[in-house]
Amino acid sequence: MPEPERATFPPLTPALQSNRLLDLLKLFGPGAIIASVTIGSGETIFASRGGAIFGYGMLWCFVLGLLMKGVQVYTATRYITLTGEHPMEHWARFPGPRAWFPACFGTICVLSFPFFLSGLPVMLGTLMRWIVGTGSPQVWGTLVILIAVTATLLQTYTILEKAQTVIVGLLLVCVMAAAVGAQPSWLAALQGMFLPTLPQYDAWVRTAYPAIAARPPWVEVATYMGVIGGGTQDYLAYVGMMREKGWGMLGRTEQGIATDRVDNPANAGIYTPVPLSDRPENVRTGLAWLKAPLTDAVISFASVLVFALAFMLLGATILHTQRLIPDGFDLLTLQAQFLTQLHPRLLFVYQLGIFTAFFGTIYGAYELYARTAYECFRPVFPAFRRLPLPTVRRWVVSYTGLVGLVLVWTGWEPIWLITFPAILTGVFMCGVWCLAMIWTDRRFLPGPYRMGIGLLLLNGISGLAMAAFGVKAIVDYLTGL
């Protein structure tokens, strides 16, 4: 048998060879989309709601959740940079029926799309009703969906990336200034961040907000963790977006990295990679390429963490002391105090900033979801590989928009629409993802390219913790129905 061809990495870019901060910032791209897509709901509503309900006590949950999700995402972007292939391609090779794992992941994600993109437009609809003074959340939500669907079908990746990067930067400055101006109890914040406590409702919550108190506390907290920083439905697309950057082996498709070679008839349509060269110089180059996805993930999740902590501090400092909680269809008006406590004229800044964040979230989510479906079903259906992304986008966006419109007009509260999908895709499936990456890394990567012991342990702990937490929250949720 002849020695199989072995792939080598392209030379490093100047930005990767430089240690200058400005050059590193040039690597920030797909992570900007993930950060801005989660900021609209995760931070402005759920982080401030968590602070309003629990004070500073649940800060540890946000920090831990984002750390675990950061590890989850990096292990996958690390893999696609080293191999040129999406991890989903090898998840199709899990023992059992052909491609059952991508099929399950894809089906759950696709079913969750309309719930997220009906709850979020209704939330934005409540803001528009407050700003304009007329109309219902459902009417405004419908208009938002129609505009976002049209914009998504006409957009390009470059426009999306640039728009979302600007949104992240502007919001980051505003919320940091507001958090400092609120003068929170920094000692209590540090205790809440590093001394974990179990979630429980205060007596005033049970009295003034019985509907919230009826939700099991772990379900409430799991919803925060599921929404903050995004979930599986976002991350699958995020990893796929690395193809546009051409980092590492993604820049070497001419070596066969993106072909469909079959090594077993039972695996027809399932991707077979070209083996990596393990020559020392190639290993050094490949591992050096990992600075790109690591930088992108660190900046992305650090931005989300800053937003989450800022909004939770503001919720704990301002809303918790007044015993006010964003709830029902009134999810965004109370947070106006975060800026108006600095100056009343900043109300317009808050309204404009929140509108921009929410619309950016909805606008970006349609593109992400199209890519998620594309990545999940490529290994499942051989014919799916031959479909261009714009075709998949049209089908996914149309389905999500139409079903989302139906859900908008059911009259269900936004948090009710989002809760179960957030726990399932944003917590439990994130844990399963981490465990699947360990199997993929150990089975398909040559020794020199595998995760080190530190990253391996972080990934395993994150996977077990999120999977267990997700199971606990799902059981509590179903029991409480």
- Which pLDDT score is estimated for 257? 39
Going by C-alpha positions, the residue among 225, 240, 239, 241 that lies closest to residue 425 is 225
Give pLDDT tens digits for 128-144. Answer: 999 999 989 999 999 99
Buried b (16+ CB within 10 A) or exposed e, 415-451: bebbbbbbbbbbbbbbbbbbbbbbebbeebbeeebbb
∠310-238-92 over CA atoms, to 5°?
A: 135
Give pLDDT tens digits for 89-114. Answer: 889 989 999 899 999 999 999 999 99
C-alpha 63/C-alpha 57 separation (Å) is 12
Top mean-pLDDT range of 13-27, 150-164, 465-479? 465-479
Residue 463 phi, psi (nearest 5):
-65, -45
Going by C-alpha positions, the residue among 136, 110, 55, 25 that lies closest to residue 392 is 110
Lowest mean pLDDT among 236-240, 378-382, 408-412: 378-382
C-alpha 46/C-alpha 414 separation (Å) is 12
C-alpha 238/C-alpha 33 separation (Å) is 8
Give pLDDT tens digits for 182-219. Answer: 888 999 999 999 988 889 999 999 999 999 999 999 99
Is the pLDDT assigned to residue 4 strictly greater than 70? no
C-alpha 312/C-alpha 176 separation (Å) is 12
Going by C-alpha positions, the residue among 130, 161, 139, 158 that lies closest to residue 352 is 130
Q: Is 28-480 a domain of CATH 1.20.1560.10? A: no
C-alpha 6/C-alpha 3 separation (Å) is 9
C-alpha 447/C-alpha 82 separation (Å) is 12
Q: Average pLDDT in the 142-161 region?
A: 78
Q: Domain-by-domain residue ranges, the chain?
A: 28-480
Per the prediction, the chain carries an average pLDDT of 86
Give pLDDT tens digits for 449-469. Answer: 999 999 999 999 999 999 999
For residue 473 the two structure tokens come to 């929250």
Is the pLDDT assigned to residue 254 strictly greater than 80? no
- Which pLDDT score is estimated for 382? 81
Give pLDDT tens digits for 338-387. Answer: 888 878 888 887 887 788 778 878 888 898 899 999 999 998 988 888 88
Q: Within 10 Å of residue 97's Cβ, how many Cβ atoms?
A: 8
For residue 131 the two structure tokens come to 């700003």
Q: What is the DSSP string of 208-234?
A: H-HHHHTS-HHHHHHHHHHHTT--HHH
Long-range CB contacts for residues 280-289, cutoff 8 Å, separation at least 24: 282/8, 282/9, 283/448, 283/449, 285/8, 285/9, 285/11, 285/12, 286/9, 286/82, 286/248, 286/249, 286/449, 287/448, 287/449, 288/12, 288/16, 289/9, 289/12, 289/16, 289/81, 289/82, 289/247, 289/248
Lowest mean pLDDT among 132-141, 269-278, 439-448: 269-278
The answer to whether 206 touches 396, Cβ cutoff 8 Å, is no
Is the pLDDT assigned to residue 79 strictly greater than 90? yes
Burial label for 141, CB within 10 Å (0-12, 13-18, 19+), is: buried
Contacts of residue 172, Cβ cutoff 8 Å, sequence gap at least 6: 303, 306, 307
- Name residue, tokens 């800053």: 306
Handedness of CA 78, 84, 88, 91 (dihedral sign): negative
Is the pLDDT assigned to residue 69 strictly greater than 50? yes
